[in-house]
A and B are shown apart, each in its own frame.
Chain A
Amino acid sequence: MKSTNLIQAYLFRIVIYCILLAGFYIALYYITDQGPNCTSDWNRLIDRFWTTTRLVFVSFILLLLLSILLAAGQSFCDYWRKINRIDTIYVFIVGIGIKFFLFLLVLLGIIPIFLTAKGFNILLPNVGAYLSLIFANAMILQIYPHIYNELSSELQSAHIYGAMSGGIPPVKTFVKRICISSLDISKSLYINLLGFSIFVEYQFKEAGSSFQGLAYDFISALYDHENDWCMAFQAFCGIIIMILIVDTIWTFAKIIVTRKS
């Protein structure tokens, strides 16, 4: 994608964010009958913002690292097999090891993960929140094949042999490819994790988790405070701002990568 197209798409998304905010604000007139009356402190919103950012960002990094490790492991096995022709070990590692791990991850769906986290009260609630956010959604099943496909196409292309003969170490080419492929999916992954934080922040509150961020505020406004749409609007603003910041960083990073390559 060209950088001009990226900027166009970014500007279009900003228009959508503005429409979403304006739409919610106008909807408040119809829902509350009295118009928006946001009594909550806006400074509190900033604290909530950082809490959610901390939770989502750390989970995002850990999930990305896990996917990269899995994809790199499988690509390495492919490469190893191509050179050494050791079928049995290859099948054992790739066929059983990684697939079994992925099978386990799918098995630990969101409900079993929450049950396990609730059952193990000995587990630190904050650690439990991180683990739930990482493993409870099946995002790893989308990220891992994406990075693996990119890496295997790099492995089969002439680039890597050209780079090696030119004196550039293959690790550098691999790292570059991993970074580019991770960047492609990072925005959707971040937004997905932000969505799942709604479950985690609300469910882990009772266990004493310190993660009471925007998602918690949002669900609490509608559920605990019996449809307090004004409070929900404030949390909504915070979420949109968070997404906007992530979107801006992502677009700039993407533009830089596009121009360099």
Chain B
Amino acid sequence: MDKISTHYFNDPLLKFIQRIQWIPAIVPVLYLICFFNPFVFNTIFVPLCNTHPEYIEKFINGGVVYILPCFCAITITLCLCIFFASLTFFFQNHYFISSAISRLPNLLLETFPQIFWLYIISFTIDTSNNEYYIKWYIIIAITYSPIIIDQLNSRINDLREKNFILAETMVGQNRFVIFFRDIVWYYCIDIMVVQSVYLISSIISMEACMAFLMRISPDNSSSLGTLLNTLYFADIENKWTDSFLAMITNISTLFWLTLIVIISTIFTLNKIASSLEQKWTLK
């Protein structure tokens, strides 16, 4: 690292700015406290919200909806990414497989806008049962896979020419062991952890956007994005209000609370990911 950047990172003012970026993390923590101890929420926020108790229950339980689908989505996406990235290692002498087939998801997803893909696929999913969430989140996560595949590919391309990998190959070590132990486990785990955190924030933001703007999720679903949509259209009949002030006063407090929770969670997750990335890069 050169002189300028070392000085830049050690600047007290910038350190202070870096620290205040953690402030939004208070909101998800408070939200978790409210989930485990609804007494706090009932005494402080419920009198403020002044909405139907059903919506308040949805708000409290909305965060749980994300846990299992996000876990499934990340696991499946990472496996898929490792599979496609492994092609560059195992078939390095076959140009077509290592360059074209391994980048097939990237080519497919980069040639056509991600949101159009999501929109088309959303019409083919059965939204009547709860498994809908898992499918929907997996699809959203897969559309973000090109970023992870690109990063894994570049890391694997760097590593496969290294002396220790070449030495292990010459000794006769199993290529699967070299790939999964020496490359993926030792050198790619940082990429996967950081990208998983980014992936969660991307899933939450995309789901919220699509549920709010396109009304894709079913009405009876309990995600925070759907809650935003329900509250907005319950409070405002005409979508285009006369003034900003009228909109603020017409929409219930719970809507703004939900929006703050979503945005703060995305902020916090992005901050966690960027901090992890920075630490690993400096190492």
Contacts and interface: CB of A to CB of B under 8 A. Distances in A.
Contacts of A239: 112-113, 116
A219 B119 contact: yes
Interface string A189-217: 00110111011001100110000000100
Interface stretch (B75-83, B129-137, B209-217): B209-217
A121 B243 contact: yes
B100 interface: yes
A148 B225 CA distance: 34
Interface string B98-114: 00100000011011111
Interface residues of A, number: 51
A188 to B, nearest CB: 6
B116 A121 contact: no
B253 to A, nearest CB: 15
B270 to A, nearest CB: 8
B126 to A, nearest CB: 14
Contact of A20 (B100, B112, B213): B112
A190 B214 CA distance: 22
Contacts of A203: 213
A159 interface: no
A195 B240 contact: no
Given A12-B100, A95-B13, A119-B248, A110 B213 contact: yes
Nearest to B115: A195
Contacts of B158: none
Nearest to A100: B17
**Prevailing SS type, chain B contact patch:** helix
B153 to A, nearest CB: 14
A195 B116 contact: yes
A172 interface: no
A218 B242 CA distance: 29
Given A206-B239, A218-B116, A222-B119, A111 B228 contact: yes
A99 B11 CA distance: 15
Given A110-B213, A111-B259, A116 B244 contact: yes
A82 interface: yes
A109 interface: yes
Interface string B252-270: 0000000100110011001
Given A16-B111, A20-B111, A111-B212, 16 more contacts: A91-B11, A91-B13, A95-B11, A95-B14, A99-B17, A107-B263, A114-B212, A118-B240, A118-B241, A119-B241, A119-B243, A195-B114, A199-B214, A206-B240, A218-B116, A243-B112
Interface of B: 2, 4, 7, 11, 13-14, 17, 21, 100, 107-108, 110-116, 119, 123, 205, 208-209, 212-214, 228, 239-244, 246-248, 259, 262-263, 266-267, 270
10 contacts: A106-B270, A111-B208, A111-B212, A111-B259, A118-B247, A119-B248, A199-B115, A218-B119, A219-B119, A240-B112
